[in-house]
């Protein structure tokens, strides 16, 4: 969740320290990705998801990859249902609406949101199924083969 109460109650930490760490990593030039496990009833509020996307764009930049991962009941949260697929898809849509260029769906094998698309020409550059890369069309150095847009990442 993108609020202090969630972090204190569920994670046992403080959101402000997570945010400061992310800001520092980006400022130091460390390639950074953000993963948000979306848990039903705990952090699936679409308004908070939108606020987080706005924060990522404003403070980290539009090119920082953001993953919305589907929760499955495990360990201390076995009493909760899996995240509905539509919630993850809507979270991804919100990220794209807010101007983030690399927003992904996680833990939904076969979903289009697993793939990396060129933000300029919109063509699929890296196709995935779960954690398996099915196709990687990037040129050396991480460039789109269709329009030469540089795709952020560690490619060497």
153 lies in a domain? no
Q: Please write the tens of the pLDDT for every residue from 6-26.
A: 999 998 999 999 999 999 999
pLDDT higher than 80, residue 61: yes
C-alpha separations of 153 from 45, 104, 138 in Å: 29, 14, 11
pLDDT at position 1, please?
Answer: 75
46 lies in a domain? yes
Read off the CATH number of the domain in which 28 is found.
3.20.20.70
Number of domains in the chain: 1
* Domain membership of residue 20 as a residue range: 4-114
The answer to whether 65 and 33 have CB atoms below 8 angstroms apart is yes
**How many Å apart are CA 30 and CA 136, to the nearest integer?**
23
Length of the chain: 156
pLDDT higher than 90, residue 149: yes
pLDDT band for position 140 (cuts 50, 70, 90): very high
Task: Calculate the average pLDDT of the chain.
Answer: 97
81 lies in a domain? yes
pLDDT higher than 90, residue 56: yes
pLDDT at position 136, please?
Answer: 98
134 lies in a domain? no
58 lies in a domain? yes
27 lies in a domain? yes
Q: Please write the tens of the pLDDT for every residue from 75-120.
A: 989 999 999 999 999 999 999 999 999 999 999 999 999 999 999 9
Ordered strands of the 132-136 beta sheet: 116-117, 124-129, 132-136
103 lies in a domain? yes
144 lies in a domain? no
pLDDT higher than 90, residue 156: no
């Amino acid at each position: 969740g993108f609020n202090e109460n969630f972090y204190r109650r569920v994670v046992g930490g403080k959101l402000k320290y997570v945010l400061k760490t992310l800001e520092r990593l980006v400022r130091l030039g460390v390639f950074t990705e953000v993963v948000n496990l979306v848990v039903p009833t705990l952090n699936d509020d679409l308004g908070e998801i939108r606020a987080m996307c706005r924060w990522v764009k404003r403070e980290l930049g539009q090119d920082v990859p953001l993953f919305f991962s589907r929760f499955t009941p495990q360990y201390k949260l076995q009493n909760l249902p899996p995240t509905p697929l539509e919630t993850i898809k809507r979270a991804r849509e919100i990220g794209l609406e807010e101007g983030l260029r690399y927003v992904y769906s996680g833990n939904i094998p076969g979903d289009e949101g697993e793939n990396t698309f060129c933000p300029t020409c919109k063509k699929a550059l890296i196709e995935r199924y779960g954690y398996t890369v099915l196709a990687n069309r990037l040129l050396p150095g991480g460039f789109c083969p269709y329009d030469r847009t540089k795709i952020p990442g560690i490619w060497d």
